[in-house]
Amino acid sequence: MTKRLNYRIGVVVSRFNDFITQRLLCGCVDELIRRGVSKSSILVVQVPGAWEIPVVAQQLASKKNINAVICLGAVIRGETAHFDIVAQGSCSGIQQAALTTGKPVVLGVLTTENTKQAYERSSDKKRNNKGREAACVALEMIDTLLSLKKI
């Protein structure tokens, strides 16, 4: 039987390219539940695009009762001239949120050359879904940071 995990997880997901980000969200939530997080402890917040993820991730991660934040988005080069700006801003903002709050803020934002790659990395199979992978990383990092407190 799966051990119940008493963690509260924030998930920030962008609506831009939602045909991909919804697949990431499904994989992420399914994996958290499979690993023992209760559905009612998963707080999902939607934002317009990957650019808007960091500010919400930072706010969520600063809350006392949130153990980790997972960021899900899809920046696809073929569709934007400012791919590099959006991708870089989103990813570095997410890292900054982790460093300033000291909480796991996990990067589940796809940055791909085209839609095909994004589709492959958000597979509905158990493997190859970046949202699912981000869920595993969040749980591992909660434990890692907790164990550091005991040193």
Active site residue 82: yes
CA–CA gap between residue 92 and residue 70 (Å, rounded): 14
3-state secondary structure of 107: strand
Residue nearest to ligand INI (CB): 49
DSSP label of 62: T
Nearer to ligand INI, 14 or 58 (CB): 14
Residue 91 or 135 with smaller CB distance to ligand INI: 91
- For residues 125 and 101, what is the distance between their CA atoms, to the nearest angstrom? 33
Point out the catalytic residue in the list 82, 92, 113, 114.
82
Cβ of residue 112: shortest distance to ligand INI, in angstroms? 9
Pick the closest to residue 64 from 3, 10, 127, 134 (CA basis): 10
Q: Site residues (CB under 6 A) for ligand INI?
A: 14, 16-17, 48-52, 73-76, 79-80, 86
Which residues are identified as catalytic?
Answer: 82
